[in-house]
Homo-oligomer: A and B are copies of this chain.
Amino acid sequence: LVLFSLSEQKKRIVYTILELSPLLDSSNMTPDDWAKIKYYEQYDGFVILHGTDTMAYTASALSFMCENLGKTIVLTGSQVPIYELRNDGRANLLGALLIAGQFVIPEVCLYFYHKLYRGNRVTKVDAGSFNAFSSPNLPPLANAEVDITVNWETVWRANTTKKFKVHTNMNRNVGLLRIFPGINAATVKAFLQPPMEGIVLETYGTGNAPDRQDLLDELKKATDRKVVILNCTQCLRGSIAAVYATGQTLTAVGVIPGGDMTPEAALAKLSYTLSKSHLSWEEKKEMLSENLRGEMTVVPTGAKISLTDSKF
């Protein structure tokens, strides 16, 4: 089900409803399905209904696929179906429609439980509560309480005059691997075997992993054959930094620091970047380190004092 909204002369908003065929359970979504979501020049804003289970993945993917986006795209859904007497679907849908119809927020957003988030910043954090999503490293773009308030300084500005374009041929040979105590070299090797072209490595804390030589060797072998490994933290909040001894060892074997990206955003960015076949491996690696759609925080110089820097 895809639902479109059109703002007309600030007087009335006309909504058109389109439905995806066949309807999919969100846990069955694949990168191929993301490409089915087409953009229509004739509308001013878009609301997409989606299952909650994979909505953070889809929102992340769409944010990269939509190049030079100039219109508002809002994904929303519900924890309890809208046909139940007591549900959150009605409130989520109404809020999403109101925002998509009233504001120009040129991002792929996710609206849930009275908050509008940047799509590539969210993760589903609660399986049983109406407050199911969180944007751990970026405040919401808007709050829809008694009044709706947009935090304009947080809204992403692409600064581009290029034409909107949907990039559809996402690379599917990507994966997520979470580090755990006792993970062995054989498991890492098996996971990284061809046709895998890139993985998100979910490490400890600010980017740490065991520095056992056999593990590092497997990672090195993979990066040597140009498999891209992007380092993200398995913590809900926080960022990768290259300060600990163990973190630097990962950089030494070719792992790329992923900043404060969610695993969902990192996976989508990998899938997007690796599909840019005209780019060299070095260009792809550089692209992964850049902030493309507001998916990672670039800290302005001087805004932060690290405790390790300060010789107090």
- Which residues of A line the B interface, CB within 8 A? 25-31, 52-54, 57-58, 61, 79-80, 84-87, 91, 94-95, 98, 102, 114, 124-130, 132, 134, 139, 144-150, 152-153, 172, 174-178, 180-184, 186-187, 190-191, 193, 195-196, 202-206, 208-212, 233-240, 244-246, 263, 267, 271, 299-300, 303-308, 310, 312
Known contacts A29-B181, A236-B236, A238-B126; is A150 also within 8 Å of B303 by CB?
A: yes
Shortest distance from the beta carbon of A288 to any chain B beta carbon, whole Å: 17
**Residue in A175, A181, A271 with the greatest tally of chain B CB atoms within 10 Å:** A181
A and B contact pairs by CB, cutoff 8 A, 5 listed: A79-B146, A98-B310, A128-B147, A147-B307, A150-B303
Other-chain contact of A152, B134, B303, B306 (Cβ < 8 Å): B303
The answer on a CB contact under 8 Å between B148 and A267 is no
The answer on a CB contact under 8 Å between A304 and B53 is no
> CB-CB < 8 A to A308: which residues of B?
84
> CB-CB < 8 A to A196: which residues of B?
187
Bound together, the chains give a CA A98 to CA B303 distance in angstroms of 14
Shortest distance from the beta carbon of A217 to any chain B beta carbon, whole Å: 16
Other-chain contact of A86, B95, B233, B267 (Cβ < 8 Å): B95
Bound together, the chains give a CA A75 to CA B234 distance in angstroms of 20
**Residue in A31, A300, A312 with the greatest tally of chain B CB atoms within 10 Å:** A312
Known contacts A172-B182, A305-B102; is A128 also within 8 Å of B206 by CB?
A: yes
Bound together, the chains give a CA A125 to CA B238 distance in angstroms of 8
> CB-CB < 8 A to A91: which residues of B?
86, 91
Shortest distance from the beta carbon of A75 to any chain B beta carbon, whole Å: 14
> CB-CB < 8 A to A246: which residues of B?
25, 27-28
Other-chain contact of A126, B30, B208, B235 (Cβ < 8 Å): B235
The answer on a CB contact under 8 Å between B175 and A205 is no
The answer on a CB contact under 8 Å between B208 and A27 is yes
> CB-CB < 8 A to A177: which residues of B?
178
The answer on a CB contact under 8 Å between A149 and B187 is no
> CB-CB < 8 A to A299: which residues of B?
149
> CB-CB < 8 A to A152: which residues of B?
300, 303
The answer on a CB contact under 8 Å between A307 and B127 is no
Known contacts A86-B95, A175-B183, A312-B86; is A146 also within 8 Å of B191 by CB?
A: no
The answer on a CB contact under 8 Å between B210 and A27 is yes
Bound together, the chains give a CA A26 to CA B134 distance in angstroms of 28
Bound together, the chains give a CA A162 to CA B54 distance in angstroms of 46
> CB-CB < 8 A to A130: which residues of B?
114, 145-146
The answer on a CB contact under 8 Å between B124 and A211 is no
The answer on a CB contact under 8 Å between B127 and A233 is yes
Shortest distance from the beta carbon of A101 to any chain B beta carbon, whole Å: 8
The answer on a CB contact under 8 Å between B238 and A312 is no
**Residue in A25, A146, A178, A238 with the greatest tally of chain B CB atoms within 10 Å:** A146
Bound together, the chains give a CA A102 to CA B305 distance in angstroms of 9
